[in-house]
């Protein structure tokens, strides 16, 4: 599996799935969430409202992920995940790692082979870019080699994912991710 980092706009990525750093309501917001909702068009909001009425009446929990179509995006799917908010005392590294692994699992379930991630929980949610980069890269690498714990049925994570791209909105975040990618595997 190829893992790379690039500076750019996640809404323009030519990948099967883009990951939305959503809030638990799934009804849009600022930053990456607002940009994805704007670029995907009004059908994305309706799909999210439908999820809230049916599967997720209490919202999407921190660290979990759910998929909708990409609608007007180049990507076929949007994987929505809710990162922990450092500013609200949500500081568990495992919760942030779960955002990456659950998003990969959901992408595999819909047949995606390429996926683009933002710096989940960086920015408005207050996590340091260096920490997000280290957790993101470590989580994706561990998932790719199946070193994550097996689920309750004993299955390790299947992987049809050939490309993981971290798409960063700023030079400092890109630098943090490039350093994390260059670091030796642990």
- pLDDT digit string, tens, across residues 39-67: 999 999 999 999 999 999 999 999 999 99
Q: What is the DSSP letter of 30?
A: S
Instruction: Output the six-digit token pair for 124.
Output: 């408005």
Please tell me the class of the 2-182 domain: alpha beta
Domain residue extents for the chain: 2-182
Question: What's 20's DSSP letter?
Answer: E
pLDDT band at 134 (very low <50, low <70, confident <90, very high): very high
Helix (H/G/I), strand (E/B), else coil: 157: coil
Find out whether 177 and 119 touch, Cβ atoms under 8 Å.
yes
Average pLDDT rounded to a whole number, residues 9-34: 96
Report which DSSP code applies to 62.
B
| CA torsion angle 95 98 103 104 (round to 10) | 160
Model pTM score: 0.92
3-state DSSP assignment of residue 52: helix
For residues 106 and 60, is the Cβ–Cβ distance under 8 A? no
Cα angle 23-92-44, degrees, rounded to a multiple of 5:
15
Active site residue 33: yes
118, 82 contact by CB (below 8 A): no
Can you tell me the distance from the alpha carbon of 114 to that of 99, in angstroms, rounded to the nearest whole number?
Answer: 17
Which position among 9, 14, 16, 33 bears the catalytic label?
A: 33
pLDDT tens track for 96-113: 999 999 999 999 999 999
Retrieve residue 156's tokens.
């390790």
């Amino acid at each position: 599996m190829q893992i790379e980092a690039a500076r750019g706009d996640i809404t323009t990525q030519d990948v099967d799935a883009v990951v939305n750093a959503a809030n638990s309501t799934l009804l849009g917001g600022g930053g990456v969430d607002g940009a994805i909702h704007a670029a995907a068009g009004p059908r994305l909001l309706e799909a999210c409202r439908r999820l809230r009425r049916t599967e997720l009446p209490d919202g999407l929990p921190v660290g979990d992920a759910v998929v909708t179509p990409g609608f007007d995006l180049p990507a076929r799917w949007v994987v929505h995940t809710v990162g922990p908010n450092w500013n609200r005392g949500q500081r568990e590294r495992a919760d942030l790692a779960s955002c990456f692994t659950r998003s990969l699992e959901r992408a595999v379930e819909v047949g995606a082979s390429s996926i683009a991630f933002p710096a989940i929980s960086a920015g408005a949610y207050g996590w340091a870019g260096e920490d997000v980069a280290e957790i993101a890269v470590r989580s994706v690498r561990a998932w790719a080699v199946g070193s994550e714990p097996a689920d309750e049925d004993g299955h390790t994570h299947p992987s049809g994912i050939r490309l993981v791209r971290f798409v960063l909105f700023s030079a400092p975040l890109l630098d943090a991710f490039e350093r994390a990618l260059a670091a030796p595997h642990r």
